[in-house]
Structure 1
Amino acid sequence: MSLSLFFVILLPCFPLFSSAKPLYPDCALQYNCGSIQNITYPFTGSNRPVYCGPPEFQLNCRSDSMTEITVNSQNYRVLNIDQKQNKLTLARSDYYNNVCPHEYTNTTLNSAVFTFPTNLEKLTIFYGCSSVETLIKPINQLLCNVSGVSTTAYYFIGPVPSDPILHIIECDVSVEVPVFKTVTLSLALSSISLEDALMQGFDVVYKNPYDGACSKCLNFGGECGFDSNLNEPICICGDKLCDVQGNSTKSVGLGIGIAIGGAGIVGILVTILYCHFVHKKKKQIDYSKSQKVLLGAPSSKVLSSANTSSAISQSQSIPSFPYSKSVDPEKGSTYFGVQVFSYQELEEATNNFDPSREIGDGGFGTVYYGQLNDGRIVAVKRLYENNITRVKQFLNEVEILTHLEHDNLVKLYGCTSRRSRELLLVYEYIPNGTVADHLHGKRAKYSSLSWSVRLGIAVETADALAYLHASDVIHRDVKTTNILLDNDFRVKVADFGLSRLFPTDVTHVSTAPQGTLGYVDPEYYQCYQLTDKSDVYSFGVVLVELISAKQAVDVNRHRMDINLANMAINKIQNKTLHELVDPSLGYERDYNIKKMITAVAELAFRCLQQEKEMRPGMGEVLKVLKEIKNEDLSLRKAEVLDMSADDVGLLKSEPPPISPESNETDKCVSDQSQPHSI
């Protein structure tokens, strides 16, 4: 019986040892599957046998078009492999075209082989949430139907706030998935869906622990491989195992006689391998159990806290962070990466919102001067009313400002939590009022801005708007009351309550008319279509205000001049620009100032064209203004026009843009196959 067992054990080995076919063929071949092409060591799969690389790098070609890799029992789609930078782009297979999987597992990697780069952000999804207290349906809400049961889910980007404004009362489980930082802004502003963001995947950097042995093998002229049974690298030379130390090679074309002669040794090896397999299986089971303990059962009712780093952890797993209802929700918490202040703290900072501390109108709320306990001087914006529209604007401003950074954009320090009596925004304090204050407000009574200061304001405002447009954001409410000035008259563009991300795949955004009378694009009134050129029109009005120091709308002016944009177009076309210019600027006395004001007027004329196609982009506007500021007018292609009777030069002779009150209509030709309501 023992003899029979002996031959049964050896029987599978006979073809292997007696065959003339090499033991380790095909490691010189490349892995090719769909878009993943020409992949070599350490990866295996398809026509590259498993012994051609470590098991951690085994690829699976699905339907001859899609590649998957399994890491810590989790399947990932391989979107790209960059072997020069040792980088993989992966997407969770269970989240591909699906944000409501049947099983909830965190994204975990083997840290000895894979690490996360710095271009990622953590995204946390909460499933099985019982209810939410909020005035509106939040943009980060999902509805999942798993096995016929409908549940609510929510996602958060970066550290999860312990007391977000959209407060999650109770959820069954949380899952963490890394996403690219470049898509988080689009996701936060709802220009792409969560599903799209997850399908774009994330990068991981891989490191082969056996690169040193492989380098020696390649220098020896062999092909790198791996023996999974012995868990060590091997070097393959044709049909032999190479000895990279230079000793005699080991023939692998052994015959049956040698196999039988070494039967005793083979029997021992089979026993050892069997024990090794059992031990390895036990470790996998133990690891699986430990992961279940770490993640918790779906009924564990956990919620992630905010006191974690925004960077994706490079450890073997990304843990969950249990939520404790005993924690003070208004201490040290964050919302979209900014600090959450208590209502009491801001009430104290503003002396109970003392009317004497009012420093301006923030578009949809009053702004108060305040000083925090840590000594910081701040501006606190208080909503006029807590209706749905105001809350949407509040959330929108928080989400936009936390993802943008520019020297000429106001900085947001934080906001209040949902539990506060009112929704408040906390900004850096800009001490020198608004441009409107200095041009035709209370500050204009005491001093007048010089032309060089006004031109600097124009350049810096254009710089901020060009940055926004490059970031696919439209401000939608550009006006002089939203342009703040510091003590050095440096610009800080503010009030992003109406702003929206502009999708790159459409020509416009369809929306109900919003903005401020006198600054709104006439085409916007007719077609309710918003583009980046709508900001350009509003900025054209700002340029005219800087030239004239007149308000955008003034019912005390002549009926034809109530709208400043129309007034400017008429003055420019009638060669009476001098009647529009603020007398304090020295237009008639200083030829250089006259040249620059005339050039800015020409630029404003272009910005105020009725048809948006005729207006320049903000990038071009910024370039022209910088050239004017540098008094390098010779670089400008357009002729510098002088509106005086003695100088030659005419602006375009097209009729002026119609006012919103006009009965004329303009054809809205834009493609409306993909309207985006905002």
Structure 2
Amino acid sequence: MSTKPSLHGHVHILRSLITIQIPKITNTQKANMHLTILLAVAALVAASAQEGPTCESSCGNVTITYPFGSGEGCYYTSDFLITCNRSSGEPIPFFRRSNIVVSNMSTSKSEVEIMTFVGGDCYNSSGSRVRRNQPTLTLRGVRISAKNKFVAIGCDTYAYFRGIRGKELDGTGCISRCGRNSLITNGSCSGVGCCEVAVPEGLRTSNMTLRSFNNHVNITDFNPCSYAFFVEQGKFNFSTTNLIDFERVTKMPMLIDWAIGNLTCDQAKDRDDFLCKGNSECDQDYGGPGYRCRCLEGYEGNPYVPYDCKDINECGRGNHDCENDAQCINDIPGNYTCKCGKGYNGDGRKNGTGCTADESTIVKIGVGISTSAILLLIFVSWLYLILKKRKLMMLREKFFKQNGGIMLQQRISGDGGSHDQAKVFTIEELKRATNNYNESRIIGKGGYGTVYKGVLSDNRIVAIKKSKLADQTQAQIEQFINEVVILSQINHRNVVRLIGCCLETEIPLLVYEFIPNGTLSDHIHSKGKSTAITWEIRLRIATETAEALSYLHSAASVPIIHRDVKPMNILLDDNYVAKVADFGASRLIPMDQIELATIVQGTLGYLDPEYMQTNQLTDKSDVYSFGVVLVELLTGKKALSFDRPEEERNLAIYFLYSLKEGRLFQVLDERLLLNDVPSEIIQVSRLTERCLRVKGDERPTMKEVAIELQGILSSMIQKHPWVQSGSNEDEGEYLLKEPITNDYECTNGGNVSNANSSTFDSMSKHTMLPIASGR
């Protein structure tokens, strides 16, 4: 192949041609002709550098554009040489004569994407280094782009880089540790498993260093190596699998910035080899060193090749601001015009004068008619809004009566009218508070309604319950009013406080104080949360719940039976203070009665067996349900689960059986991390057994339960045993070690089993309910 002459050679030949062949022209003509021919030849030279037989326009998947080139005479200077290696099956472009692979290049942004090596530092299980790679990058005439990130991966990793920026030494780095695997998150590079820092602008060299704090000891099972690399922002997304499989990744894409020479725009514009010509201009915003070219506005192409920046057809692309009624015409180089239709004047642009109609009699008549129509429309709209507002007021009044507003007023006034602390909210207030009941605001759903998180105008965070009253039956309305009345009578720190209600909607609403830490069920059944609530916290939660139920049974103005005591209805605040919630199924007990005949309501697994058989609701029904809650606190298991073996499906029955067999330690929640069973757990287990007795008369009252739990909690806090020496040891032996001697018969899902006990005889008083046949 022949070698093409350089741009400097073409310029010299051109000057000679002008001097020799046209000696009789004037100086002005000569200068103009000189400039015209010079630009034409410069364009020819640049084009030939890309299209000539010795210049390659591409290498592999990379397009080579001027000022870059692949052979002598094809590039601007040697700094822009691209070496194409065709010895392998797939051609690979390299930057100059280095081993740096070019993966993409852009003349419009003056950027080149290259593939840089990934640094690695690996250790074996004994902490000895088995491999280390700390790549160094040195660039000439180009700089590392600030659009890159420096990224490090590892659980025991300290990575940094240093390099020359201008005449100064500069660098930075980051640390990546793991702690616990569960805290490592996909897509997060904030220092847990992965870290990243910004790259300083103008860096010309980079010397990478990788270090380990503890040589990856104790974490080599999942992360024996540290890795570090530069990568173009947005081209890397961290995954937890990178900790174990990143070894096969050897290179990552990285951007480098380039410019022409070392002169500024003003210094280089008068030189013969200045490249920003034709429809290209020098980028005055670039701070150097060197200069950059860019196409004029309205043009696109390679700004480093004269006349390669071509006019953009904004009209054909739809990239214009002509009004809809105006016609876009691409008749101006680098721009376009917007032509208004017949009878209209103006520039036709949305951001300009637009298209306005001609002043004429017809137009004036049209304006008059339009004005009259507007006035008529305003009047009709005003009348419509008044009628709509009146209809809306009537509808709200209808809903107020339909939802039991009059009944609620009568109930409250019948109680003496002392419950004025509950606010009646308007529908607009609650719509604003819940962003019009957006689904993202839903924090819970249950059998009695949906609960939304809301923010009131005074910035109070509340929970807004939308009850399920679609059928609008009298029984459902009474149930809703019942909950309002009950909550308005309660003033206890461990009961969720009612703030107000809204009866103006078809579905009535209740507004509660917001309890931020979820339900007790979330905490004792979630692996991630259960370890945080220690035995002392669980005992405190049980004590506070018992105090709340004791208050409802005996201290409220009218005794209240909750009827649905379960962990889902016990909320926790940020300090794990218990709050009893959801009184949709609750009942008031007349002062002259001790029990009520009702339809059985509640949750399977927590229902009082005596209540299920007799339909007679008493305060001892809440005691039984609370006993099941105690079992869940002790075992960490759900009250009813068909995923467990048949004999373990009903947790309360299985707990009592294990207690009788002396296997208490085996059923306790292993997440309590107990080496032995504290006396407090033994005492709570005995109390639980009494709460779960089938006959309500044999159960303690909630007041007795609360007092006993208070005593156990106090003794635990004061570090004093509740039962001294011998009696305490007997109790532990009774619950954990005593062999079984007496027979009893237990029906569980249709199966009959025999067991013995010398001291635990309350199981004989229980009728085991069959649960194997379904819910």
- Taking structure 1 as the reference length, what is the TM-score of the superposition? 0.47
- Taking structure 2 as the reference length, what is the TM-score of the superposition? 0.42
**Larger RCO: 1 or 2 (CA < 8 Å, sep 6+):** 1
